[in-house]
Structure 1
Amino acid sequence: MPLLFAIGATLLALGVTAIDESLDTSLRLPFLFSGGPEGARALLAAIITSMISFTGLVFSITVVVLQLTSSQFSPRVLRSFLEDRFNQVALGVFVATFVYGLVVLRSVRGTAQVDPFVPQFAVALAFVLVLVSVLVFLSYINHIAQSIRAATILSNISDETRALIDDRFPADSQPEPWLSAGDGPSRVISAEDPGVVEWIDDTALARAAERAEVSIEMLRAVGEFVATGAPLARVHGRAQFDDGRLHATVRVGRERTMDQDVGFGLRQLVDIAERALSPGVNDPTTAVQALDHLHDIVRRLATRALPPRQRVTDEGRLLLSVPQPDFADYLALAFDEIAHWGRDSPRIERRIEIALRDLEVAARPEHRGAVTDAIARHRCAAPSSTLDALSPSDSGLR
């Protein structure tokens, strides 16, 4: 985005200076720059110097924030900072003002006595851009201070995960049976490059399978690592299928993303909680905050059907099957590791017990068995005399 701002600033400067050359600015309007070439050069030089300093300061602050966030929370949450639109816009505004000043400066010609030309509109606009940059800088300081708060980071990750759940598992979804591709002839398609399966285009891949009259069984779920040459998918059927179509619809990248991976949202929250429980940080309150969000997310999963990720024809023939975690996997991911590292903290044990008791009541019948197993794993089999599953409260230890 800063590059786009720089290109836009260059075009703007060229356009405004062209307007200056074509208009008569001898009327000395009050909002225009009224100085000579030397004054215009001095003003633009000051703007250029200050903007490059602003840009360096913003870059330094951002690097420090990234380092702090990585060490205190989790390296996986850096993705949200790198994708933060406001940070990109702030850096873009400073770069744009700097580039604009440079382009306008080169159009100032002559001296007060010899063939003077001062693009008055362009210089006045440069001053306006400086004022805008100051306002953006003040907003940036407030934004960056808010963005490194634990509550903000946890809320952003949780909101993104909830939105993905609503997209992948709508509230009105119904349970569906798992269909098998059968035991007929098949062949395996291997991965071309190593990486994590980030995204699968179900629609395009199912359409390609229907045209080729085959059934495609993905062997790696979204969020799972696959090595070069390792099995990626199995094609069932006697017809020929172009491997390139599968590779074009399955994106393998460097790291997990939140495009289709609900588990990655849980993983980030769990990592933050585990880091908070480490002896070097020793911040159980942040771990409890992470558990609050995990409780809400898993409860949302517990109250919804999680149909298999499959595509079939109108006649019921299986076209595409993509493996995905079931509710028990999500539940274990959310609580097992935190329970292990927080076993010496009464607050953590109590918060996990409250979450599991609530899930036991709220879960759909097909998910309740997984919750019962989790309660047994966490030694919560006997009802606590101080907890009401219908109205859980841990206010005593928060």
Structure 2
Amino acid sequence: MSTAPALVTVVERPHSIRHMSPLRRLFRPFWVIPALVSLAAVVVGLTLPLVDAGLRHQIGVAFPGGPDGARSVLGTIASAMISVTGLVFSITMVVMQLASSQFSPRILQDFLSTRITQWTLGAFVASFVYSLTVLREVRGASGGGEVFVPQLSVSLAYVLVLTAFALFLAFIRTIMSLIQVSDVVSRIGEATCRAVEEHFPEADDAPERGTWAPSGPERTVRAGDRHGHVVEVDERRLAALAREHDLHVELLVGPGDFVAPGTALARVWGDTAEDADEGVEKALALGSQRSLPQDPAFGVRQLVDVAERALSPGINDPTTATQVLAELRVILGRAVTRRDAPRHVADEDGAPRVALRSDTVEDLLRLAVEEVAHYGADTLQVPRALEQLLGELDAVALPEHRPALDRTRALVARRTEDD
């Protein structure tokens, strides 16, 4: 079934999925860095005593004590390091629980990806296993053999302890930043602003146009056994697929949408539409969590969650909600001064082949203010902050977005009156 031709704007720079390198994929899990650092500590703890054994003279800067002193030092370091490792792990768990309950479970992804936490945990575990590994190489006179004290190895244990505690101080500083609402809101806001700038073209960019004219048999492509949130859409791959098979593809899901087995992913027009099923599905990257690069609404969602938690009866902190609205003012200010994102992707010949599903500026406006207006209607600060936000946006918005602002203002008024 064909549809009537329509003149549409096309994406100037189609997005393609940036596949993660094997090295980055390796270091992504939280436990990898601590495990690798600990393994390296074991290797060094086995090899450095061999270097000590080859040295026939005292090194001035190395550990000067005897076997008993070396055992005492290494044993003390090992016991202290395993205790502090438990402390670091406990602090990490408490902060994650606090962030999840006070702000939003969706911000835990940022916390777990903080490298300083992984390196700190790795440094303490590495100091522990290194000290135990070197301890077995210390030999005293009681055994009847030659006395051997690995001076360099014991000295390195000192260095590891100093490094671990330096990382611990940096870890505490990072933790304090992660649990301050102002830093949390600012960090999410900065990332969301970058996503808005990538998603919405600037107002003075001349849009490219083309004719969207799908024809031929129509077919619906459905998801297979995979499920998850749409994280990225490989627009280049879809356009190349459509050109190769002479198809037109309209996506029915976009970044942030949840896909379950059997979900309708796209409508495809063309005589070879059946060949497109696998290609369309592979062009959609799914994940267990939403992410920002193609989904600026996810950043807005995180901020709204923080505001809603602050407005809950158990917390009752409207000041935090107004702080979130101030950050949303910056994000939405970027959005309303830009054009809505084009929804069509052209092939190499300039013919629109793919119709995308993406959020508009009005979608972001509604998401940012509707729920906050509902939950904050009984406070004094939130309605005033919302009115100020919409007024400031109206002063800088492009003419094409002013009707959306008017509709959003009317929506906020209805929410406030209903409550």
TM-score (norm 2): 0.84
- For residue 214 of structure 1, report the CA deviation from its aligned partner: 2.5
Distance in 2 (CA, whole Å) between partners of 1:280 and 1:210 is: 56
Give deviations 1:230-261, integer Å, cap 9, x for gaps: 11123322225353333333222222122321
Task: Give 2:324's aligned residue.
Answer: 290
- For residue 99 of structure 1, report the CA deviation from its aligned partner: 2.5
| 1:203 maps onto 2:236 in alignment | yes
Matched position secondary structure for 2:271: coil
| 1:229 maps onto 2:229 in alignment | no
| 1:34 maps onto 2:68 in alignment | no
Correspondence for 1:152 among 153, 164, 183: 183
Please show how residues 1-398 of structure 1 align to structure 2 within 5 Å. Answer: 1-21=33-53, 23-26=54-57, 28-109=58-139, 111=141, 114-171=145-202, 173-175=205-207, 180=212, 182-192=214-224, 193-239=226-272, 241-379=275-413
Distance in 2 (CA, whole Å) between partners of 1:120 and 1:246 is: 63
Please say if residues 34 and 121 of structure 2, whose CA atoms lie closer than 8 Å, have aligned partners that are also in contact.
yes
- For residue 272 of structure 1, report the CA deviation from its aligned partner: 0.7
Please say if residues 240 and 347 of structure 2, whose CA atoms lie closer than 8 Å, have aligned partners that are also in contact.
no
How many pairs are equivalent?
378
- For residue 277 of structure 1, report the CA deviation from its aligned partner: 0.9
Distance in 2 (CA, whole Å) between partners of 1:116 and 1:235 is: 80
- For residue 147 of structure 1, report the CA deviation from its aligned partner: 1.4
Distance in 1 (CA, whole Å) between partners of 2:103 and 2:233 is: 29
- Counterpart amino acid of residue 215 in structure 1: H
Matched position secondary structure for 2:294: coil
Distance in 2 (CA, whole Å) between partners of 1:108 and 1:200 is: 59
- For residue 170 of structure 1, report the CA deviation from its aligned partner: 4.8
Q: Using the aligned pairs only, state the percent identity.
A: 42
Q: 1:188 to 1:136 in 2, by over 3 A?
A: same
RMSD: 2.2
Distance in 2 (CA, whole Å) between partners of 1:57 and 1:291 is: 36
Give deviations 1:119-168, integer Å, cap 9, x for gaps: 22121111111011122212222221221000011011111111222223
Q: 1:118 to 1:230 in 2, by over 3 A?
A: same
Distance in 1 (CA, whole Å) between partners of 2:141 and 2:295 is: 63
Matched position secondary structure for 1:378: helix
Please say if residues 38 and 111 of structure 1, whose CA atoms lie closer than 8 Å, have aligned partners that are also in contact.
no
Distance in 2 (CA, whole Å) between partners of 1:249 and 1:150 is: 37
Q: 1:306 to 1:44 in 2, by over 3 A?
A: same
Matched position secondary structure for 2:289: coil
Distance in 1 (CA, whole Å) between partners of 2:39 and 2:201 is: 42
Q: 1:117 to 1:247 in 2, by over 3 A?
A: farther
Q: 1:209 to 1:159 in 2, by over 3 A?
A: same
Q: 1:215 to 1:48 in 2, by over 3 A?
A: farther
- For residue 197 of structure 1, report the CA deviation from its aligned partner: 1.1
- Counterpart amino acid of residue 77 in structure 2: I
Give deviations 1:307-352, integer Å, cap 9, x for gaps: 2243202433223332001111110001111011111122111111
Q: 1:52 to 1:209 in 2, by over 3 A?
A: farther
Distance in 1 (CA, whole Å) between partners of 2:118 and 2:201 is: 33
- Counterpart amino acid of residue 116 in structure 1: V
Task: Give 1:385's aligned residue.
Answer: none
Please say if residues 116 and 170 of structure 2, whose CA atoms lie closer than 8 Å, have aligned partners that are also in contact.
no
Task: Give 1:389's aligned residue.
Answer: none
Distance in 2 (CA, whole Å) between partners of 1:19 and 1:165 is: 56
Gaps of at least 5 residues in structure 2 are: 1-32, 415-419
Task: Give 2:29's aligned residue.
Answer: none
Gaps of at least 5 residues in structure 1 are: 381-398
- For residue 86 of structure 1, report the CA deviation from its aligned partner: 1.6
Q: 1:12 to 1:259 in 2, by over 3 A?
A: farther
Matched position secondary structure for 1:251: strand
Judge which range, 308-317 or 108-117, deviates more. 108-117
- For residue 13 of structure 1, report the CA deviation from its aligned partner: 3.0
Judge which range, 47-56 or 282-291, deviates more. 47-56
Q: Which has the higher contact order (CA 8 A, sep 6+)?
A: 2
Q: 1:159 to 1:122 in 2, by over 3 A?
A: same
Judge which range, 223-232 or 253-262, deviates more. 253-262
TM-score (norm 1): 0.88
